[in-house]
Chains A and B, each alone.
Chain A
Amino acid sequence: MNVRQALRNGFIIGTISIFIILLGLTVLVGGIVRGWFDLSSNALGAWVLLGLLALLGGVNARRNTHAASWKEAAVAGLAAGVAQGAMVGIFVGIVATLIDSGTEVRQWLVQLTPEAIDLLRFGAAPVAAALIVFAIFTLAGLLGALPSYASAHYQWGAAFRSWFWGMRDQGLDLPPVAAFREYKYAPYIVYGLGLVLLLIAPQLLGRYWNYTLGTVGIYVILGLGLNIVVGLAGLLDLGYVAFFAIGAYTVAMLTAPAPHNIGMSFWLVLPIGVVLASITGVLLGIPVLRMRGDYLAIVTLGFGEIIRILSKSDVLTSFTGGPRGIRAVAGPSLFGMDLSSSQHFMYFIILGIILVAYLTYRLQNSRVGRAWMAMREDEDVAEAMGIYTLKYKLLAFAIGAAFAGFGGVLFASRNKFTGPEDFTLLVSINVLCLVIIGGMGSIPGVVIGALVLKGLPEMLRELDDYRILVFGALLVMMMILRPEGLLPSKRRRMELHEEEPTEVVAAGGAA
């Protein structure tokens, strides 16, 4: 029984808790929770946040010490609890004393308002407050460790973990899930329900959510395209936004009244945008695809910036609209019906995703897909096996660019606007991140990745300034806990969790 390990876990959580209090996050979360439930004080929200952290301390301590009995689990939880409780308790005690003695702590720690500490004191004197905080953190550590041990000990725990760690194919589903999986029509029911949900969702969602989820959807399309380039063919393209921009500017310049007043129909422009982006992909590809790895990344990054700066340049203002962008981009219409509301667009985007996902799926499991994967693994050997690598690289670039162009057309047309600031480097980075977070090479992974990366910041909007901080922390945690992504392809799971399946099967069998 490694008590030191448990203590160390407690200290980590203690540090994080103090950090959160110092940043004023407890006050903020407390305020949000108060607003939701019409409470009279911020204390509940603050304590829920800290309590969850303290529980996590217990869970981690139990897991990292590999506690193998109820008693050991209790000891681990208690040790972590004492460590985190002592840290936070002493901290609260000291700050409370300072505040009570009239010291202005905010002159050193700007976010540490008296309220942040008052929330945690229950109106007690400094020493009593420190003891209360200590007791709560200790108890939470213990409470975290015990169920965590139970979940590791019993079958449903194994089932949950096997699901979480992405080994659903190991047959460790919860009994009702497993029974459903056996059922012949199960896939049809799942797909049917999914389809119905997709059909009615845009009706139920308001303007705001249709717009937000529409953006997520467009990022799904971008992600699926980049997934082919990076995930399958292994070409690190950091200038992916360029093709997105080309799609967007194509629809803008050909349909908007200014600067060209061509006024083409959306339906005609859609294929033009896709093809133009794809051609640009090939044109860029021919010179740069002889480079490998980092060099390719740098050159493509430069290309992405060139496109953005060109679109912004004063010289080209009469052609691209310059820094002010292009307004009044046309939306689609069908039989005289205008279909450009964000609700209608949601349907387009859903259809687009289905189309692009289907194409990706077919490509992935084709001869072309295998050639890409071989090339990603070892370019020389792939060449020696008879794969004309340049051709397949260009193909990957062209298809990825076509998807991005498609996304760009939808984006500009839905926003009825396009401008240089829509196409910063950050877009490329975001798309790359969502592919990685979702799980390289996995189609459902891209969807989840886009939801997390574009949807979550939107949902965290209430945390305003903190959301990027929280989001960053989530990303770091995610990469440590699940390097293969949220919904990895089967292939990635096989690589990263090669030893674990046997272990889990053995544990499940014994229980």
Chain B
Amino acid sequence: MAMLEVRNVHTYYGNIHALKGISINVDEGEIVTLIGANGAGKSTTLNAICGLVKPRSGEIVLENEAIHRLPAHEVVSKGVAQSPEGRRIFGRLTVQENLEMGAFRRADAGAIQEDMRRVFDLFPRLEERRKQVGGTLSGGEQQMLAIGRAMMARPRLLLLDEPSMGLAPLLVEDIFRVVRQLNEQGTTILLVEQNALMAFSVAHRGYVLETGRVVLEGTVDELRENPEVQKAYLGG
């Protein structure tokens, strides 16, 4: 029984047909990755799940409940949170305030404190800088903050959009270690990546997107063996 089902979703930006019938499933406890080139529709898929982009047709079902008609701010309450592409932290709010914004829909002050503790345990750098404004953090720290902020919603499904973008290799390792850790603690993760090598090292299954369509799907091992994938995404 899939936790999230995206069924034949079509979206448009004006007249541009961005997603041309995407269907993906994510099971509870999995890390599923979407890989593909620029413009393949990876981020649009995540935004459609979040409610930021409305599908023109098709449906998105989270635990038997259709969420594709809900406005974005209500999708959060259903247990879906996104760490957006390019981080997009609130540059003029402090680290702590950024994290508090992640928990905006929640009223359980005690549990929010616990979750903040959890974020700081995963990313000690953020605790050191909790009073600093987000815009002055380094790229890596901002990425940690973006993930931490999404975690503060206590999501059951966490959407990560290119967490490795623009980061030094060592930081990328760090971020992916945390992704794995979060998954082991019970968060289901849908991971969008251009860095297929890294994505395959943490994910269970994956989908390959090209120009708004799913062209391949399978377990990570299957994808890794696939000559097309090797050629296009693994540099070999």
Q: Which residues of A are at the interface with B, using a C-beta cutoff of 8 A?
A: 367, 370-371, 373-374, 376-378, 380-389, 491-492, 494-495, 498
Check B88 for interface membership: any CB of A closer than 8 A.
yes
Q: Which residues of A contact B157 (CB under 8 A)?
A: none
Given contacts A374-B93, A388-B71, contact A495 B76 (CB under 8 A): no
CB distance from A138 to the nearest CB of B (A): 44
Q: Which residues of A contact B88 (CB under 8 A)?
A: 378, 380-381
| Contact string against A for B residues 69-106, beta-carbon threshold 8 Å, 1 for contact and 0 otherwise | 00111101100011010001011110001001110110
Check B35 for interface membership: any CB of A closer than 8 A.
no
CB distance from A387 to the nearest CB of B (A): 6
Whether the Cβ atoms of B52 and A386 lie closer than 8 Å is no
Whether the Cβ atoms of B90 and A386 lie closer than 8 Å is no
Check B50 for interface membership: any CB of A closer than 8 A.
yes
A-B pairs with lowest CB-CB distance, top 8: A386-B76, A386-B105, A377-B90, A383-B72, A388-B73, A386-B104, A386-B73, A381-B88
Check B61 for interface membership: any CB of A closer than 8 A.
no
Check B226 for interface membership: any CB of A closer than 8 A.
no
Whether the Cβ atoms of A498 and B93 lie closer than 8 Å is no
Whether the Cβ atoms of A384 and B72 lie closer than 8 Å is yes
Given contacts A381-B84, A383-B72, contact A373 B105 (CB under 8 A): no
Whether the Cβ atoms of A374 and B52 lie closer than 8 Å is no
Whether the Cβ atoms of B52 and A382 lie closer than 8 Å is no
CB distance from B97 to the nearest CB of A (A): 6
Q: Which residues of B contact A380 (CB under 8 A)?
A: 52, 84, 88
CB distance from A501 to the nearest CB of B (A): 12
Interface of A is mostly: helix
- The answer for the CA separation of A373 and B84 in the assembled complex, in Å, is 18
Check B149 for interface membership: any CB of A closer than 8 A.
yes
Check B62 for interface membership: any CB of A closer than 8 A.
no
Interface of B is mostly: mixed
Instruction: Give the interface size class of chain B.
Output: 20 to 34
Check B57 for interface membership: any CB of A closer than 8 A.
no
Q: List 9 A-B contacts (CB under 8 A).
A: A370-B97, A371-B104, A382-B101, A383-B52, A383-B72, A384-B84, A385-B76, A386-B74, A498-B136
Q: Which residues of B contact A384 (CB under 8 A)?
A: 50-52, 72-73, 76, 81-82, 84
15 more CB-based (< 8 A) A-B contacts, given A373-B90, A386-B74, A492-B92:
A371-B101, A373-B97, A376-B92, A377-B93, A378-B88, A381-B84, A382-B101, A383-B73, A384-B76, A384-B81, A386-B76, A386-B104, A388-B71, A495-B135, A495-B136
- The answer for the CA separation of A389 and B74 in the assembled complex, in Å, is 12
Q: Which residues of A contact B102 (CB under 8 A)?
A: 385
Q: Which residues of A contact B51 (CB under 8 A)?
A: 384
| Contact string against A for B residues 19-58, beta-carbon threshold 8 Å, 1 for contact and 0 otherwise | 0000000000000000000000000000000111000000
Give the residue of A381, A388, A492 whose beta carbon is less than 8 angstroms from that of B90.
A381
Q: Among the interface residues A373, A377, A491, A494, which one has the most CB atoms of the partner chain B within 10 A?
A: A377
Q: Among the interface residues A367, A380, A384, A387, which one has the most CB atoms of the partner chain B within 10 A?
A: A384
Whether the Cβ atoms of B133 and A387 lie closer than 8 Å is no
- The answer for the CA separation of A417 and B52 in the assembled complex, in Å, is 50
Q: Which residues of A contact B76 (CB under 8 A)?
A: 384-386
- The answer for the CA separation of A492 and B100 in the assembled complex, in Å, is 20
Q: Which residues of A contact B97 (CB under 8 A)?
A: 370, 373
Check B119 for interface membership: any CB of A closer than 8 A.
no
Q: Which residues of A contact B74 (CB under 8 A)?
A: 386
Check B175 for interface membership: any CB of A closer than 8 A.
no
CB distance from B101 to the nearest CB of A (A): 5
Whether the Cβ atoms of B73 and A387 lie closer than 8 Å is yes
- The answer for the CA separation of A492 and B92 in the assembled complex, in Å, is 8
- The answer for the CA separation of A378 and B101 in the assembled complex, in Å, is 12
Whether the Cβ atoms of A374 and B50 lie closer than 8 Å is no
Q: Which residues of A contact B105 (CB under 8 A)?
A: 385-386
Task: Considering the complex, give the chain A residue whose CB is closest to the CB of B82.
Answer: A384
Give the residue of B92, B101, B132, B133 whose beta carbon is less than 8 angstroms from that of A385.
B101
- The answer for the CA separation of A492 and B90 in the assembled complex, in Å, is 13
CB distance from B25 to the nearest CB of A (A): 22
CB distance from A382 to the nearest CB of B (A): 7
Check B153 for interface membership: any CB of A closer than 8 A.
yes
Given contacts A374-B90, A377-B90, A495-B133, contact A385 B149 (CB under 8 A): yes
- The answer for the CA separation of A387 and B52 in the assembled complex, in Å, is 12
CB distance from A394 to the nearest CB of B (A): 14
Q: Among the interface residues B84, B88, B90, which one has the most CB atoms of the partner chain A within 10 A?
A: B90
Whether the Cβ atoms of B73 and A373 lie closer than 8 Å is no
- The answer for the CA separation of A388 and B104 in the assembled complex, in Å, is 10
- The answer for the CA separation of A454 and B88 in the assembled complex, in Å, is 39
- The answer for the CA separation of A231 and B73 in the assembled complex, in Å, is 23
- The answer for the CA separation of A413 and B146 in the assembled complex, in Å, is 51
Q: Which residues of B contact A374 (CB under 8 A)?
A: 90, 93, 101, 104
Whether the Cβ atoms of A373 and B104 lie closer than 8 Å is no
Q: Among the interface residues B76, B101, B105, B135, which one has the most CB atoms of the partner chain A within 10 A?
A: B101
- The answer for the CA separation of A380 and B77 in the assembled complex, in Å, is 16
- The answer for the CA separation of A387 and B153 in the assembled complex, in Å, is 12
Q: Among the interface residues A367, A380, A385, A386, which one has the most CB atoms of the partner chain B within 10 A?
A: A385
Q: Among the interface residues B74, B133, B149, which one has the most CB atoms of the partner chain A within 10 A?
A: B133
